[in-house]
Amino acid sequence: MPATLIDGKAFAARVRAKVADHVTRLREEHGLVPGLAVVLVGEDPASQVYVRSKGKQTAEAGMASFEHKLDVKTSESDLLALIAKLNADPEVHGILVQLPLPAHLDSDLVINSIDPAKDVDGFHISNVGLLGTGQKSMVPCTPLGCLMMLRDHHGSLSGMNAVVVGRSNIVGKPMAQLLLGDSCTVTIAHSRTRNLAEVCRGADILVAAVGRPEMIPGDWVKPGATVIDVGINRVEGAEGKTRLVGDVDFASCAEVAGAITPVPGGVGPMTIACLLANTVTACCRANGLTEPE
Ligand code: NDP
């Protein structure tokens, strides 16, 4: 495998250690404990795993973790009332509502009811607008993690051709905004893109956020390109067991790419690390303190 492996797991551990250091300083020098509230409605198994993992890592970083698990039938007004309470709570610096919400709840309405200053997922319409206009905002965790790994690997991204496959509000679009902010020439591809293979072959940086197992083969990758695989897909493995794969075919892409993130152990661990970092940032901003870099 000629490609360099971008080790998201190790990188995320370094980010979490920096977060923990900052949390210690906030506590010792200012008597502050950054707090993250996570709201889960219903019992979606994947969401339960994410919420558990978020709570555990929040506590390990020395921060306060507030979990609110609500019944699947919770009404919109009850959920909005909880969010209003969390918005007003000075011990809560970050609020995350685990998506997807049950179908009877309006996700946009719920997300936009979070105080933008506490919106550590960066999905509130104000934060989306701030990011799009290059202003200080809360940046969505998954694309932020991707950007951090790219900057770490390349230094400057200026002038590079970046192709983002996927245009979702939570990954593809904010990823494209961040790459544009770092002066890449950005193409956003999606299910209607013509000649996707050719588009991908033009990428110095190829970000796959599609949700289709191993869709991108090695011959879509420009030799030496950096491949960031956001996809998390569970597929049938050997002996009836399941395994996780990304949106790129790792084996063939790693033969051609200059650098590549694995699945698991690439983008995934960075997402929660960035969530913790965003919570510390929110705490610092709320208290008029210098933010971590
Ligand atoms: P969405 O389903 O919201 O978006 C998928 C995007 O891929 C859409 O824009 C869609 O295009 C595009 N697409 C679908 N099929 C094709 C195709 N054949 N060719 C080109 N484009 C296509 O997914 P998300 O953005 O939420 O997530 C993407 C992946 O990232 C998933 O595997 C998800 O599990 C993973 N993920 C990982 C995270 C992490 O922490 N590592 C966090 C969040 C997501 P169109 O808009 O035209 O339909």
pTM of the model: 0.97
Out of 44, 171, 173, 276, give the residue to mutate to test ligand 1, the one with the largest number of ligand atoms within 8 Å of its CB. 171
Average of pLDDT values for 263-279?
Answer: 97
Residue 3 covered by a domain? no
How confident is the model at residue 129, as a pLDDT? 98
How confident is the model at residue 27, as a pLDDT? 98
Out of 230, 250, 261, 275, give the residue to mutate to test ligand 1, the one with the largest number of ligand atoms within 8 Å of its CB. 230
How confident is the model at residue 258, as a pLDDT? 98
pLDDT over 90 at 56, yes or no? yes
How confident is the model at residue 14, as a pLDDT? 98
Q: What is the CATH number of the domain that holds 71?
A: 3.40.50.10860
Give DSSP secondary structure letters for 89-100: -TT--EEEEPSS
Structural domain that includes position 85: 31-117
Which is the closest atom of ligand 1 to the Cα of 210?
Answer: 7
∠ CA 23-25-29, nearest 5°, is: 130
Q: Is the CB of 54 under 6 A from ligand 1?
A: no
Residue 61 covered by a domain? yes
158 and 85 inside one domain: no
Q: pLDDT tens digits for 212-222? A: 999 999 999 99
Residue 164 covered by a domain? yes
Average of pLDDT values for 233-252?
Answer: 94
Alpha helical stretches, state H, 38-163: 45-60, 76-88, 107-111, 125-132, 141-154
Residue 182 covered by a domain? yes
Average of pLDDT values for 64-70?
Answer: 97
- Count the domains in the chain: 2
Residue 288 covered by a domain? no
Whether this model's ipTM surpasses 0.90 comes out as yes
106 and 154 inside one domain: no
166 and 265 inside one domain: yes
146 and 94 inside one domain: no
Q: Would you tell me the crossing angle of helices 125-132 and 172-181 to the nearest 10 degrees?
A: 30
Q: What is the CATH number of the domain that holds 242?
A: 3.40.50.720
Which is the closest atom of ligand 1 to the Cα of 171?
Answer: 25
99 and 198 inside one domain: no
Q: What is the 3-state secondary structure (H, E, C) of 171-226?
A: CHHHHHHHHHHCCCEEEEECCCCCCHHHHHHCCCEEEECCCCCCCECHHHCCCCCE
Q: pLDDT tens digits for 221-234? A: 999 999 999 999 99
Percent of the residues in the chain that have a pLDDT greater than 70, as a whole number: 100
pLDDT over 90 at 1, yes or no? no
Q: Is residue 213 reached through a cis peptide bond, with omega within 30 degrees of 0 on the bond before it?
A: no
Please identify, among 62, 85, 117, the residue that sits at the C-terminal boundary of a domain: 117
How confident is the model at residue 293, as a pLDDT? 81
pLDDT over 80 at 130, yes or no? yes
206 and 94 inside one domain: no
How confident is the model at residue 136, as a pLDDT? 95
Please tell me the distance between residue 73's alpha carbon and the centre of ligand 1 in angstroms.
Answer: 28
How confident is the model at residue 117, as a pLDDT? 98
Catalytic residue (choose from 57, 118, 119, 121) = 121
Residue 106 covered by a domain? yes
Tell me the pLDDT band of 243, cut-offs 50, 70 and 90. very high
Residue 275 covered by a domain? no
pLDDT over 90 at 237, yes or no? no
Tell me the pLDDT band of 292, cut-offs 50, 70 and 90. confident
233 and 168 inside one domain: yes
Distance between CA atoms of residues 95 and 141, nearest Å: 13
Known binding site: residues? 166-168, 232
147 and 219 inside one domain: yes
Tell me the pLDDT band of 289, cut-offs 50, 70 and 90. very high
pLDDT over 80 at 123, yes or no? yes
How confident is the model at residue 238, as a pLDDT? 86
245 and 148 inside one domain: yes
74 and 155 inside one domain: no
Q: Is the CB of 264 under 6 A from ligand 1?
A: no
Residue 152 covered by a domain? yes
Q: pLDDT tens digits for 43-53? A: 999 999 999 99
Q: Is the CB of 191 under 6 A from ligand 1?
A: yes
Per the annotation, the verdict on 173 as an active-site residue is: no
170 and 249 inside one domain: yes
How confident is the model at residue 150, as a pLDDT? 98
Q: pLDDT tens digits for 181-216? A: 999 999 999 999 999 999 999 999 999 999 999 999
∠ CA 169-45-72, nearest 5°, is: 80
Known binding site for NADP(+): residues? 166-168, 232
253 and 200 inside one domain: yes
